[in-house]
Amino acid sequence: MELSVTIFLDPSGFLRRECPTCEKEFKYFHGHTESRPDDFLEPASYFCPYCGVPAGTDSWWTPAQLEYVQSTAAGPVMEELTRSLNKAFGGNRRGGISISFEIDKGSVSEPLAPPVDPDDMMIVEPPCHTFEPLKVAEDWLDPIHCLMCGEKFAV
Ligand SMILES: [Zn+2]
Ligand SMILES: [Zn+2]
């Protein structure tokens, strides 16, 4: 079973992210910029632009995005669960017992509207990986770490 969830980008095409270590928000460019080399291999982890601590590429969801993903997934997951429970137990009349499962619609919350992302923060380009631009908080004055390699650079 696969679920696809749309997470909305900001008007410049950046995706909001939250560092699992320092819990600050930044954004990275979603998809590939034109200057990205074709043979560039995506790293297994990204470095936080603020604290420089690396984490797996799928560990950067913001609480709002997670909440949205969970609300979108809840309905389909419940339906799939019910279907497989019915396959396992339903219609088995041997011994005179028939069990069937139904979704209690009241227990599945309505999907939330996808988070809308404003065109905020400032765009920075790491000199070491110029094709992976970032957006960081405008009031951040310390050096920034490259998302790809963790190299520090001044804004
Ligand atoms: Zn961090
Ligand atoms: Zn770099």
At 63, which helix (H) or strand (E)?
A: helix 63-89
Q: Extract the tokens encoding 155.
A: 């804004």
In single-letter form, the type of residue at position 7 comes to I
The number of the ligand nearest the C-alpha atom of 140 reads: 1
With 90 as the cut, is the pLDDT of residue 152 above it? yes
C-alpha separations of 107 from 42, 78, 101 in Å: 40, 10, 14
Do 54 and 125 fall into the same domain? yes
Domain of 43 in residue numbering reads as 1-62+115-155
| Amino acid 115: pLDDT | 72
pLDDT computed for residue 140 by the predictor: 96
CA 19 – ligand 1 centroid, Å: 5
Q: How many domains does the chain have?
A: 2
Q: Are residues 28 and 39 in the same domain?
A: yes
Does this model's pTM top 0.85? My answer is: no
Instruction: Give the span between the Cα atoms of 155 and 121, in whole angstroms.
Output: 13
Contact between residue 32 and residue 39 where contact means Cβ atoms under 8 Å apart: no
68 Cβ neighbours under 8 A, 6+ residues apart: 5, 7, 111, 112, 114, 115
Is the predicted pLDDT of residue 104 greater than 70, yes or no? Answer: no
Give the integer Cα–Cα distance in Å for 18 and 27: 8
% of the chain exceeding 90 in pLDDT: 53
Across 63-67, 90-94, 133-137, least confident range: 90-94
Shared-domain flag, residues 55 and 131: yes
The predicted structure's pLDDT at residue 45? 97
Distance, in Å, from the CA atom of 51 to the CA atom of 109, rounded to the nearest integer, reads 36
Residues 25 and 70 in one domain: no
Shared-domain flag, residues 73 and 29:
no
* Ligand 2 midpoint to CA 120 (Å): 23
Q: 41 and 90 in one domain? A: no
User: What torsion do the CA atoms of 122, 127, 35, 15 make, to the nearest 10 degrees?
Assistant: -30
* Same domain membership, residue 42 and residue 4: yes
Per-chain residues with Cβ under 5 A from ion ligand 2: 126, 128-129, 146, 148-149, 151
Asked whether residue 58 falls in the same domain as residue 82, the answer is no
**pLDDT band with cut points at 50, 70 and 90 for residue 3:** low
**Whether residue 58 sits in one domain with residue 3:** yes
Task: Please indicate, yes or no, whether residues 56 and 11 belong to a single structural domain of this protein.
Answer: yes
Same domain? 7 vs 58: yes
149 neighbors 47 (Cβ within 8 angstroms): yes
